[in-house]
Structure 1
Amino acid sequence: MSPMVSAARAGLARGWIELRQTFTNGQDLWNYLFPTVILLVVMVFMRNSTVPGTNFSLGSRTLPSALGMGIAFGGLITTAMALTVDREDGTLLRAKAIPNGMFGYLIGKIVLVTGMGVVSMVLQLTPGVFLLDGLAIGSPTGWLTLIWVLLLGMVATMPIGAIFGSLFSNPRSMGIMMLPLMGLIATSGIFYPITNFPAWLQWVAQVFPVYWLGLGMRSALLPDSMAAVEFGHSWRHLETVGVLGAWAILGLVMAPIVLRRMARRESGSSVAARREKAMQRIT
């Protein structure tokens, strides 16, 4: 068995173990359940409102949009947070010291973040189907669309998240990423159709993955008639693949370069210095 295959198998095993551990950790369970409950409560309150120009429930339209938002959030923030935590506690340094350890480490994080994203999606979608009306959940084509949007969305966002995680030396710096991401979510048609925004804001939103992930999930879970309220009166699958694919290519090209440079800077002294700063903050 080649060293790379062994590293990949070790990474898969590590990712699966870390994913299972999230079901036994109180904080991780809270991170699964709290956003789900908040989103479902918001959507239930929105279900009697309608999408402008239609009789369709705004809450039902928001559910698939929120699923797309969750993919973006997981790929960007969860990946970046995991990388900075592992830098601070020395996990990344230990992975670097093992032959092909960084490759196995990244495989493990892909499994972990993807698994967490799928679990969160199931937790939101399952009760949402019973609480909200009008979702097109009986179409095999819709489920296939959901799968490819999920996978392409992860590939488009996780490398970018890894790049940002490489730029920050401690998890407490993640607030710098949260503010612009919240702005993107607010302007990307997640909670309200983008066609009601100013034209310049529509174009800005369409540059980033958040809008396209929301659109892709809506195309998977909403009736075809709802495409009429979207930009261009279409689900624009080709454009979705194009934009998310462009972000994926950018991330896959840049992430290895940034990660290699970050790994070269990792040493026992740098980990010890970060730990000492962390202890000083605690005390």
Structure 2
Amino acid sequence: MTAMTTPMAFAAAAKRRALRTGVRRGLTEFRQQWTNRDDVLGQVVWLVLILTTLFFMRDAHLPGTSFSLGTATVPSVLGAGIVFNGLSGAAGQLVIDREDGTLLRAKATPNGMLGYLLGKIVSLSLMQVAGLVVVLVPCLFLFSGLASDGVWSWLNLLWVLVLGLLATLPLGAPIGSLIRDPRAMALVMLPVTGLTAISGIFYPITALPVWVQDVAQVFPMYWLGLGMRSALLPDSAVVVEIGQSWRPWWTLGVLVVWSVIGLALAPVLLRRMARRESGSSVAERRERALQRV
């Protein structure tokens, strides 16, 4: 019995160490991103563009209401940002880590892939939350009518945010595992940009053809926007939604389904990609990168 439990206990201890290492790695990467001039500049530019766009929408109104279109668009933009940045961030970092050999080093460490995956989830989740706060806080002062239900609004926002992160971040791993050239990231994100256009982010989805509404409802971006709107907007804004309802149970169900899909695919595809990594493949990619330069 002792001979059997010792290896099991050793394996469990090794996994716990990998998890602790992954959390520490994620926190370190998060701090580094906020001390990197280019990353901080990118955040500032993005914030200015978003706030400027919303500011010029403040005098427009939702169809059939006196509610500001700018105010109604704030939560939609937050939801779309979680999807867009979650997918592109996870996929982009995976491509970079494969290029510079980080993934190969993780593969060579016991339970290294587990720690690597957890570290990425921690760092990217923190970046997403920080980005949401950076956008939302100024909007609370610029636009009236946000989070009017007080504590209930923030609790509602919390569960939508958690499920939104689970539904999007793991999907970045399958996308990143399919990309061979970092320059292809722009082409991969084009469909996400298209989803932004049809998901009711900048204008009510009910103004679009029914078949377009049906397509948008398959993907998490629409439901994240809807969940954010249900959390941050007053009930009077629901009149422009499909069925004039926030549909919280549908939002919960769809985001859970996408979370399960992503969490099931990510470890499998990461392990398969890691098995193909070797010193020669990293060197070959570096040589190609030098030739491009």
Say whether the fold is shared (TM-score over 0.5). yes
SS at match of 1:47: coil
Equivalent residues of 1:188, 1:210 under 8 A apart: yes
Separation (CA, whole Å) in 2 of partners of 1:136 and 1:40: 18
Which aligned pairs between 1:71-110 and structure 2 lie closer than 5 A?
71-110=82-121
Equivalent residues of 1:187, 1:201 under 8 A apart: yes
Give the corresponding residue for 1:162: 173
Separation (CA, whole Å) in 2 of partners of 1:157 and 1:173: 20
Give the corresponding residue for 1:230: 241
Which aligned pairs between 1:103-122 and structure 2 lie closer than 5 A?
103-122=114-133
Residue by residue over 1:61-87, the C-alpha shift from the partner in whole angstroms, topping out at 9 and shown as x without a partner, is: 111101001110122110000100000
Residue by residue over 1:76-131, the C-alpha shift from the partner in whole angstroms, topping out at 9 and shown as x without a partner, is: 11000010000000000000000000000011100111011011101100111111
Separation (CA, whole Å) in 2 of partners of 1:115 and 1:163: 21
Give the corresponding residue for 2:158: 147
Give the corresponding residue for 1:3: 14
Equivalent residues of 1:85, 1:170 under 8 A apart: no
Separation (CA, whole Å) in 1 of partners of 2:206 and 2:240: 7
Q: CA deviation at 1:253?
A: 1.5
SS at match of 1:51: coil
Which aligned pairs between 1:1-283 and structure 2 lie closer than 5 A?
2-282=13-293
Equivalent residues of 2:174, 2:269 under 8 A apart: yes
Mean CA deviation greater in 25-34 or 43-52: 25-34
Separation (CA, whole Å) in 2 of partners of 1:113 and 1:73: 12
Separation (CA, whole Å) in 2 of partners of 1:181 and 1:137: 31
Separation (CA, whole Å) in 2 of partners of 1:31 and 1:212: 27
Separation (CA, whole Å) in 2 of partners of 1:104 and 1:110: 10
Q: CA deviation at 1:160?
A: 1.0
**AA of the residue aligned to 2:274:** A
Which ranges in structure 1 are unaligned for 5 or more consecutive residues? none
SS at match of 2:289: helix
Separation (CA, whole Å) in 2 of partners of 1:6 and 1:142: 37
Separation (CA, whole Å) in 2 of partners of 1:241 and 1:254: 20
TM-score (norm 1): 0.97
Q: CA deviation at 1:137?
A: 4.4
**AA of the residue aligned to 1:28:** D
Separation (CA, whole Å) in 2 of partners of 1:108 and 1:253: 18
CA RMSD of aligned residues (A): 1.0
Q: CA deviation at 1:135?
A: 1.2
Separation (CA, whole Å) in 2 of partners of 1:138 and 1:216: 15
Separation (CA, whole Å) in 1 of partners of 2:148 and 2:30: 27
Equivalent residues of 1:216, 1:237 under 8 A apart: yes
Equivalent residues of 1:84, 1:166 under 8 A apart: yes
SS at match of 2:202: coil
- Percent of aligned pairs with the same amino acid: 57
Q: CA deviation at 1:263?
A: 0.6
Equivalent residues of 1:45, 1:59 under 8 A apart: yes
Residue by residue over 1:173-216, the C-alpha shift from the partner in whole angstroms, topping out at 9 and shown as x without a partner, is: 10122211110001000000000000000000000000000000
Equivalent residues of 1:88, 1:170 under 8 A apart: no
Larger radius of gyration: 2
SS at match of 1:115: helix
Q: Which runs of 4+ in 1 moved over 2 A?
A: none
- Number of corresponding residues: 282
Separation (CA, whole Å) in 1 of partners of 2:218 and 2:238: 20
**AA of the residue aligned to 1:97:** A
Equivalent residues of 2:149, 2:234 under 8 A apart: no
